[in-house]
Every structure is written in structure tokens, then in C-alpha cells.
Amino acid sequence: MKQPHLVVLGGGFAGLELCKELGDIPVRITLVDRQNHHLFQPLLYQVASAGLAAPEIAHPIRSVFSDQRNIHVVMDEATGIDLEHQTVSLRDAEDPITYDYLAIGIGVKTGYFGNDHWEEFAPGLKSLDDATQIRRQVLLAYEKAENCEDPGQRKRLMTSVVVGGGPTGVELAGAFAEIARHVLKRDFREIDTSAARIYLVEAADRLLTMYDERLSEYTRKKLTALGVTVVTGRMVKEITEGKVDLGDEVIEAETIIWAAGVEAPALTKTLGVELDRGGRIIVDGDLSVPGHPEVFAMGDIANCVDQSGIRVPGLCPAALQMGKHVAQVISNEVGLTARRGYPVRKQFRYFDKGSMATIGRSAAVASSMGMRFTGLPAWLMWLFVHLMFLVGFRNKIAVMIQWFYSYLRYRRGARIITGVDDSGLIQHPVELRPLDSARPRTEGALSEVS
């Protein structure tokens, strides 16, 4: 009997888990991803804040499946899905791929709530390219400030704004504060990087709204102690180059990062099925697309309410569970579908293992099994869980060594600026200090920045 063909779109947590679970099942798999690597997104902020190098949180997809014979990896991007004819069109392929089963796990992208023009001035954090761009911008800002005579301009260069008080925003703001106050302080002579201003802006009345209020308050206090200015209950009105307008206040900043929302890629609109407001696919209880039992959506792209009525969050453990569930459904049906049609399927049940966010050195919050953790215990939990979920033994060792080194020395080893264009380091007009005026920094050298 001809083996059924499964096409998997996306090499994220759900896609990889699905493919690995089907390694010994008589099914032919084609895995399509526009990148050649699996990305561990929870640690992207550490690349953006110079804590880790990009290769340490990514692993080649082909390497993951080098010993699995039933899978074919294609580096390409899906541009259209025809549910009626069961085909997927790819950007670089002349002919579409036909499938017997389709699993969509393409993830989500940064969403600006209809203000897409803000993206030019406030990039999001969803890819390695995003992370390295942010790292470059942050480090360049301090380099420009070192050579800038104008106090107002220097103040702007040493100001960063993170919009969005969820886990990503909290982690970025805390990391930026630690860089300024500890990591870079010994590296510059003309500026005092501890005078840098870090803003975290959240429209809701508290940070980390998905957590208990006590954890939110702990997070606010810890960030404030790190030197972060936490602004809650204020919605961004406009973002232009170097400016964040909060209505009654305009913050001028060299670095503006958007961590306030996500939305589905445009591909979901080609399906002709019901989507939620963010473009995510609304799925049935078995994770299949309504009316198309051969098509599944999983991970962040799926809007799913599980068997017990829980709305499944966009977290790594949830994506892994979804991938495993789809694999079980397909395994149960291989060899049966052609003879008897689709059997009664097991409904997806999400097992909530909890969630966590790191704030800074030895500080984190975690919620699991009805219990709440803060401080060092939560931080150690965060370290262990993230190391466990990293793909690749080399990545685990490299990240562990980097974290150990950073903890002992207050150093970050990925402070390399790349991608500078032919115009040099200074991308915006600033008043430069003459080279022969360079001098050792004195205690009062930066009083005008504070």
C-alpha cells in the first residue's frame, strides 16, 4: 500500500516534535521551512542583548533528522494552500506539493494592531535577524554616544524603549538595564553607561497580566531596582523615528523595540477557513481544521480550546504537546483511512506545566501547578527548563558555559557589532568630539546625561 504523504509547514517546536514522533511510522514526510535551522525563540532576547551568540540558540534542521529516513527537508516558503485539491504552493518550486495530511506550524509574526508603519521605527523580535539587528542598534548607540559632544543627543542615544509588558518585554528591559549598569560600564571612557535610561511601556495597568498580581508587582519592583522606568496604563499613540508618543509625553530614544503583540502570517488568509482577529486558525478539538480532517494547525498559529475548556497558550510546552498529539492521530490512522475513513479521534488535552519569565541576575518569576516562585529559585528553574528544551547537545553546553561565565564575571561574550555599512558607524548626524580631545573619564564627566 502506498505510504501517505504528510507535509509539515514549519520547523518549530510543534513541527519537529511531530516529525520525530513519526520516525518509525510508515508515512512519507516533507518538512518545509524558510530557514535551515530550528530556532529556540525563548532565548532570542539573549541574542538581542548580547548574552548569547546566534548559533547557540539555533540548530540545523537537517542535522536533527540526519538519521530519520522517512523525512525530506525542503528549505522554502509556503505561499498558498489549496484545501480542495490538497496542494501546497512553494515560493521556489514550479509545481505545488500534494499531500494526504497537512500540518501547519508556521508560527506568528510581530503584530502592530493595524499600525504597520511603526515597524520601520520599532522592530519586533521573532527571528535571529531581528535579534542581531537589535543587538547592533543597541551597541551602536553606545558607540555613538561615546563620540558625541551634544548632551541632548547623547541622552537620546543612551535611551531605550521597550513597548509591551509581557515576558519578552520584561526580559528585554531587564537585560538592557544589566548591560548598561554592569557589562558595558568598564568599556567606555567618555560616557557612564549606568546613566542610560530604559523604559518599559505597557498599556495594561500591570506587567505580566497572565500571572498572579503578586508576581506582577514583584517584577515591577525588581525592574525598578535595576533602573528600568516602568510605565503602565499608558497606550502608545504614535511611533516615529526616535520618538514614542504616549499622548501626554514623548520619549526620545535611539532604540525602540516592539514586544506588544503578534499576528498570523498572510498565508492563513489563503485557506478560506475561519480565523480569529489575529489571523490564527480556529481548530477543532483534535487540532484539525473544521471541514478538513486531513489538515491540522498547531503551535502559535492555532487558536485552540482543549477538551477541558482551556484556551491553549502560545508556549513551547504547548507546541510540543500539540505536535505529539497530531503524531498520535496520524499514527492511529495510517493504513486505516483508505479502508474505513477517519476513525473517532482523541481530543487534545493541554497539560499546563506552568510559565516563567526572567527579570535579571538571580531574579525571575514562575507559576506552576498552582504554586508561585520568585527570586533565585524561580531563576534556577528558568535556567534548567530552558537548557532542557534547547535542541542539540552542543547548544546546551555552549549556553551553559556562557551563562556560568556571565554570572561569575558580569560579562557578555557576544558584544560584536556586525553589518555596518560603507558609511561607517555613525548612521545619524551627531556632533563628534575631536579625536585629540579623548581623555580618561572622570567622576563628573557625564553629569549632563542624568
DSSP state, 203? S
The residues near 169 (Cβ < 8 Å, ≥ 6 apart) are 162, 163, 200, 202, 207, 257, 259, 260
Question: What dihedral angle (degrees, nearest 10) is formed by the CA atoms of 443, 448, 449, 450?
Answer: 80
Is 56 part of the annotated catalytic residue set? no
Q: How many CB atoms lie within 10 A of CB 156?
A: 23
Phi-psi region of 392 (alpha: psi -120 to 50; beta: other; left: phi over 0): left
Euclidean distance between the first and final Cα of the chain, in Å?
74
Question: With helix as H, strand as E and coil as C, how does 230-284 read?
Answer: EEECCCCCEEECCEEECCCCEEECCEEEECCCEECCHHHHHCCCCECCCCCEECC
Average pLDDT (27-32) is 97
pLDDT at residue number 341: 59
Question: What dihedral angle (degrees, nearest 10) is formed by the CA atoms of 260, 266, 270, 275?
Answer: 0
Of 171, 190, 254, 333, which one is the catalytic site residue?
171
Name the strands in the sheet holding 363-368, side by side, starting at the edge strand that comes first in the sequence: 355-360, 363-368, 371-374
Average pLDDT (328-342) is 73
Average pLDDT (107-115) is 94
pLDDT at residue number 412: 58
Tens of pLDDT, residue by residue over 384-442, are: 888 888 887 677 787 877 776 666 566 655 677 877 554 454 444 444 454 444 444 43
Instruction: Return the bridge partners of 101, or none.
Output: 6
Grid cell in block for residue 217: 508587582
Grid cell in block for residue 10: 514549519
Q: Are 255 and 159 in contact (CB under 8 A)?
A: yes
- Percent of the chain having pLDDT more than 90? 72
Q: Examine the pLDDT at 449 and tell me if it is beyond 60.
A: no
Average pLDDT (206-212) is 93
Average pLDDT for the chain: 88
Tens of pLDDT, residue by residue over 212-221, are: 999 999 999 9
- The maximal CA–CA distance of the chain, rounded, in angstroms, is 84
**DSSP-derived pairing of the beta strands 238-240 and 243-245:** antiparallel
Angle subtended at Cα 260 by Cα 259 and Cα 263, rounded to the nearest 5 degrees? 100
Q: Which of 203, 199, 164, 205 is nearest to 357 (CA)?
A: 164
